[in-house]
């Protein structure tokens, strides 16, 4: 991986402090595994607004394009809440997804055995849960036009958004879901409101066509989004891969993550298309959790999701499977050893802060 470039974007809130723990892991790798890749840093979100006046500077986008992978922290916080819509920190991540064509967001919701009791759900309901949510991330209501808040002749306001999907956008993310299902337990649950929405009707039709033509060996189930929320809460083990549009994928992946009880543990990857000439695939890795402004700067955030995002990056973008596994195993061992940050604290365990957790992971390595 000597010629690979990694762009690190810490962002806001707990982003910088959990990213610091990733640096320790990288240091260890360089020292002990004779690995070397180039590391760039960049500005994004509120931090970028404060420094250069915009949440996603062109320079950051250019660096992201030039890099082989992006490791993203998190963005947003009350400090920037009153900014106009088109200057909000969230544009940091939204523009990166859009400009790099990162259309498939992979969000594993995995219940690790040492953390079964951290869930708000009963142990027998969540033990062994292993769900992968595949969320479309460059289309739908997040970007559809027209959109806006307009003032009508009588002075009243009207706000509107367009939820729109082209069949090719649906087909390509469906393929990602089906491909993953093949390597997992062979089942895709595709989620929409085809009983209410036209884009949902097309979604169901296209997913069905791709399934029939290319993935007849995978089991496909269609489910309404409301029912899926219910089923995730009551019987999560029925799911393998869940496929959803940008908005349903957002809500349902957060729900799937929450039911593991260990949000601070969960990484995610957002992938673009493979370039047919260069073979390059843009990819961004980020924890599922947000910037958590309420605990930022207190040194108590859980760095594991960020560290595991880095492991995902090693595997998917740098082809360093062995190193990825080392990092993942180290995190599991630290948990099995009884260390817990506040978010996953349980009776009888040792409560530690961000840096003790990060150091422990390096020690296990």
* Sites of contact with its own copies (CB under 8 A): 76, 85, 88, 90, 94, 120-122, 125, 141-142, 144, 147-149, 156-168, 193, 195-203, 205-206, 225-227, 229-231, 233-235, 247-248, 250-255, 257-259, 261, 263, 290
Does 342 count as an annotated binding residue?
A: no
From 99, 187, 193, 333, active-site residue: 193
- Look at residue 177 and give the partner it binds from ligand IPM, its own copies, none, a contact being a CB closer than 5 to 8 Å depending on partner kind: none
Neighbours of 216 (CB within 10 A): 9
Does 290 count as an annotated binding residue?
A: yes
CB of 254 to its own copies, least distance (A): 4
Neighbours of 169 (CB within 10 A): 19
Does 229 count as an annotated binding residue?
A: no
Full DSSP string of 22-59:
HHHHHHHHHHHS----EEEE---HHHHHHHHSSSS-HH
- Look at residue 164 and give the partner it binds from its own copies, ligand IPM, none, a contact being a CB closer than 5 to 8 Å depending on partner kind: its own copies
Residues β-bridged to residue 191: 223, 244
CB of 12 to ligand IPM, least distance (A): 11
193 is annotated as an active-site residue: yes
- Look at residue 310 and give the partner it binds from ligand IPM, its own copies, none, a contact being a CB closer than 5 to 8 Å depending on partner kind: none
Handedness of CA 345, 350, 353, 359 (dihedral sign): negative
What six digits make up the tokens of 86?
């088109």
142 is annotated as an active-site residue: yes
Q: Which residue is nearest to ligand IPM (CB)?
A: 90
Cis peptide before 180 (omega within 30 of 0): no
Q: Does an H or E element contain 312, and which?
A: helix 304-316
Q: Are 348 and 13 in contact (CB under 8 A)?
A: no
CB of 227 to ligand IPM, least distance (A): 8
Does 127 count as an annotated binding residue?
A: no
CB of 148 to its own copies, least distance (A): 5
- Look at residue 136 and give the partner it binds from ligand IPM, its own copies, none, a contact being a CB closer than 5 to 8 Å depending on partner kind: none
Non-local CB neighbours of 301 within 8 Å, separated by 6+ positions: 14, 17, 18, 264, 292, 295, 341, 343, 354
Does 234 count as an annotated binding residue?
A: no
Q: Are 306 and 73 in contact (CB under 8 A)?
A: yes
154 is annotated as an active-site residue: no
What is the spatial distance between Cα 353 and Cα 181, in angstroms, rounded to a whole number? 36
Does 254 count as an annotated binding residue?
A: yes
**Residue number with CB closer to ligand IPM (76 or 139):** 76
- Look at residue 219 and give the partner it binds from ligand IPM, its own copies, none, a contact being a CB closer than 5 to 8 Å depending on partner kind: none
List C-alpha distances in Å: 225 to 21, 112, 190, 245, 290: 37, 26, 9, 10, 23
**Residue number with CB closer to ligand IPM (21 or 250):** 250
254 is annotated as an active-site residue: yes
Residues forming the active site: 142, 193, 226, 250, 254
The annotation places the binding site for NAD(+) at 77-90, 290-302
Residues annotated within a binding site:
77-90, 97, 107, 135, 226, 250, 254, 290-302
């Amino acid at each position: 991986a000597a010629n690979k470039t990694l762009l690190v974007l810490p962002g806001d809130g707990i982003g910088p402090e959990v990213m610091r723990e990733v640096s320790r892991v990288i240091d260890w790798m360089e020292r002990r595994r004779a690995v070397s890749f180039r590391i760039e840093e960049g500005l994004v979100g509120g931090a970028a607004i404060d420094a250069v006046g915009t949440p996603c500077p062109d320079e950051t986008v250019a660096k992201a394009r030039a890099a082989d992978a992006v490791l993203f922290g998190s963005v947003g916080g009350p400090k920037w809440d009153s900014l106009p819509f088109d200057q909000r920190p969230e544009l940091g991540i939204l523009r990166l997804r859009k400009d790099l064509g990162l259309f498939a967001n992979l969000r594993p919701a995995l219940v690790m055995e040492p953390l079964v009791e951290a869930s708000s759900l009963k142990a027998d309901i969540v033990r062994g849960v292993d769900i992968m949510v595949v969320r479309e991330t460059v289309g739908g209501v997040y970007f559809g036009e027209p959109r806006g808040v307009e003032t009508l002749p009588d002075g009243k306001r009207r706000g509107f958004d367009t939820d729109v999907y082209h069949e090719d956008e649906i087909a390509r993310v469906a393929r990602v879901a089906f491909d993953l299902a093949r390597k997992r337990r062979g089942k895709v649950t595709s989620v929409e409101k085809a009983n209410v929405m036209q884009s949902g009707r097309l979604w169901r039709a296209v997913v069905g066509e791709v399934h029939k033509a290319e993935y007849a060996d995978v089991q496909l189930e269609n489910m309404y989004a409301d029912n899926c929320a219910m089923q995730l809460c009551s019987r999560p083990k029925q799911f393998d891969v869940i496929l959803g549009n940008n908005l349903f994928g957002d809500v349902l992946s957060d729900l799937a993550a929450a039911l593991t009880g260990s949000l601070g543990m969960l990484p995610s990857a957002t992938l673009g298309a493979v370039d047919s000439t260069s073979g390059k695939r843009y990819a961004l890795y980020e924890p599922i959790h947000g910037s958590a402004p309420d605990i930022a700067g207190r040194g108590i955030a859980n760095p594991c999701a960020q560290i595991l995002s880095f492991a995902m990056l090693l595997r998917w973008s740098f082809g360093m499977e062995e190193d990825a596994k080392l990092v993942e195993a180290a995190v599991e061992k630290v948990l099995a050893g009884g260390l817990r940050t506040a978010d996953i604290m349980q009776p009888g365990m040792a409560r530690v802060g961000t840096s003790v957790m990060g150091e422990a992971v390096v020690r296990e390595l």
